Amino acid sequence: MTITILILVGYFALMLVIGWIASRRIRDSRDYFLGGKGFGPWLTAFKFASTWESGVKLVGAPGMSWNVGWAGFSMGIATPICYFFSFRVFGQRLKVAFDHFNVLTLPQLLEKRYQSRAVRMLAAAAIVIGLGGSLVAQFKATGEIFSVTLQTSYLNGLFLGAGIVGVYCILGGYLASVWTDCLQGVLMIVGSIVIMVATATVAFGGLHWNFIPELNLSLAAIDPNLLDITGGGKIPVSQIVIIVVITGLVGLALPQQSVAIFSMRDVRTCRTALVICTFFSAILAWTLVPTGMMARLVLDPATIPNPDAVIPLLIQKVLSPVTGGLFIAAILSAIMSTVSGSIVVAAATLSEDIFKLIIPERYNRHPVLYNRAGASFFVLVSMLLAIEPPTIIFWIGVFAFGFLVFTFLMPMIGVILLPRTPARAVVAQMVITMVVIPFWTIVGQKATGIPSLLVGLVIAPLSFFAVYALTKDKPLTEDMAALWKKFARL
């Protein structure tokens, strides 16, 4: 345990050093929120991928695979689709639009695109509410992981985890988030490979050419349903379809993901970043899913209280103190990369789209000060709410994802695909989604059994196109005509 703690202390210290170094390079808000918009394919890819493939992947994927077998791939089956759409279908146009309007935040982009202050205000409110709820859930998970890992109380784990990620984000902004995410992504890959090899060594004496057939024979002897794509009905095909569709929209509709596209050096970065992200995802999937299934052969089922306990038990069973420390650092990296991305995007909205509008003169005198104040606010409030999180904390986490995706889905499609989209259609859709998704997540889903993600997938385009159809086509402005000419050259 001492070696593990020393590894983690060194890792935490490195995160703080990176934050301090990044802070020395910040001159203005563009540096603080976009890192100067000069990131190449490797940093862009690791930022995008490590933020998306969070602790849910490193802990949740093996746990699900232990529970349902090969159906565990459903957790990441659409991730390559996400990367393809994010970088090749949506990404290039998003990058061109962001640079064309010369803005710093997503709400500013939407305001200029639709020439509507109301759209900007709704977008800012959605980000503050959605990412605020997400951060509370993420800090709660951080506190629990840190407390178990370091054998301390939940409060100590919460303050330590939130404090570390908060400090390097407040100091270094987006630049620190990108640099740390790159390191964290490498740790995620190394840790996943290490635990797969170690588990295979215990289960089969090591990895060999007929490893998969041997694993299948062993699983079939335990439960034939473990070889079924739906896990014997545990994961319905309809749910897999919903996962695939929504995951494909992540790069377009999640603000904390699209910022990685906005901060790219140029549109050519998309092509290489797509390949890097796909390999990143493939390595994680093809190490973590088999690891979870092999846990059936390594662990005593009576010792597993729930699927999320599979990885902690495997760490104790198959890893040495050094490799165990590395994998624990990988888990914490996955969580912290997601948290840091949320903090920076939420801070950008609070300072650029709220502080700057309310107190423009004061803000313009000390913009980076207010940028850091925005980041500090989100870290502090989310951490305080996570001390005694609401009883509906699980639903807050679920709601935050659906709330953000479906609030921004149609407005962002209007940015890149529908040049004559009227502002009133965007406003109507955003208001309806921001009301329906929280209500359905907390009340409707329990009463009807219909998932809120399915409701959002229907209500967002339906409300948008209903108002669109009733609105006379808006003339194409010179600004939009110029943007579409740039799109045509891609």
Residue 149 and residue 1 in contact, taking contact as beta carbons nearer than 8 Å: no
Query: Is residue 110 predicted with pLDDT exceeding 90?
Result: yes
Residue 339 and residue 382 in contact, taking contact as beta carbons nearer than 8 Å: no
Query: Is residue 171 predicted with pLDDT exceeding 60?
Result: yes
What mean pLDDT is predicted for residues 127-133? Answer: 85
Taking the model in full, what pTM does it have? 0.85
CA distances from 91 to 86, 249, 259, 412 (A): 5, 11, 10, 11
- CA of residue 166 relative to chain centroid, distance: 17
pLDDT digits (tens, 9 = 90+) for 351-361: 888 888 888 88
Q: Whose CA is closest to 406, among 340, 463, 466?
A: 463
Residue 170 and residue 375 in contact, taking contact as beta carbons nearer than 8 Å: yes
Query: Is residue 55 predicted with pLDDT exceeding 70?
Result: no
Q: Whose CA is closest to 310, among 78, 68, 136?
A: 68
pLDDT digits (tens, 9 = 90+) for 311-332: 888 888 888 888 888 888 887 7
The predicted structure's pLDDT at residue 80:
80
CB atoms within 10 A of CB 457: 19
The predicted structure's pLDDT at residue 212:
87
Tokens 């104040």, residue located: 373
CB atoms within 10 A of CB 153: 12
The predicted structure's pLDDT at residue 51:
83
pLDDT digits (tens, 9 = 90+) for 421-463: 889 999 999 999 999 888 887 787 777 878 777 888 889 999 9
Q: Which amino acid is at 378?
A: F
pLDDT-above-90 percentage for the chain: 19
The predicted structure's pLDDT at residue 410:
92
Query: Is residue 473 predicted with pLDDT exceeding 60?
Result: yes
With H, G, I as helix, E, B as strand and everything else as coil, classify residue 264: strand
Residue 149 and residue 8 in contact, taking contact as beta carbons nearer than 8 Å: yes
Size (the chain), residues: 490
Query: Is residue 345 predicted with pLDDT exceeding 60?
Result: yes
Dihedral sign from CA coordinates of 70, 75, 79, 85: positive
Residue 273 and residue 41 in contact, taking contact as beta carbons nearer than 8 Å: yes
pLDDT digits (tens, 9 = 90+) for 221-270: 888 888 887 777 777 777 777 777 777 777 778 888 888 898 999 888 98
Structure tokens at 347: 């801070």
pLDDT-above-70 percentage for the chain: 95
Structural domains of the chain, ranges and CATH numbers in brackets = 2-389 (1.20.1730.10)
Look at 171 and 74; give whichever has higher pLDDT: 171
Please enumerate, as own/partner, the contacts of 383-390 that have beta carbons within 8 Å and a separation of 24 or more. 383/139, 383/158, 383/159, 383/162, 383/166, 385/136, 385/139, 386/136, 386/139, 386/140, 386/143, 386/158, 386/162, 387/155, 387/158, 389/136, 389/137, 389/140
Tell me whether residue 176 is exposed, middle or buried, using C-beta atoms within 10 angstroms of its C-beta: 0 to 12, 13 to 18, 19 or more: buried
Task: List 264's β-bridge partners, or say none.
Answer: 39
Average predicted confidence (pLDDT) for the chain: 84
The predicted structure's pLDDT at residue 157:
82
Residue 239 and residue 75 in contact, taking contact as beta carbons nearer than 8 Å: no
pLDDT digits (tens, 9 = 90+) for 371-419: 888 889 888 988 888 887 655 554 566 667 778 888 999 999 999 998 8
Please enumerate, as own/partner, the contacts of 269-272 that have beta carbons within 8 Å and a separation of 24 or more. 269/39, 269/40, 269/41, 269/44, 270/87, 270/88, 270/91, 270/92, 270/95, 271/41, 271/87, 271/88, 272/41, 272/42, 272/45
Which range among 28-32, 146-150, 274-278, 453-457 shows the weakest confidence by mean pLDDT?
Answer: 146-150
Which H or E run contains 37? none
CA distances from 72 to 226, 263, 282, 376 (A): 9, 33, 14, 38
User: For residue 43, what pLDDT band results from cuts at 50, 70 and 90?
Assistant: very high
The predicted structure's pLDDT at residue 344:
86
Half-sphere exposure of 145 (CA within 13 A, CB side): 26
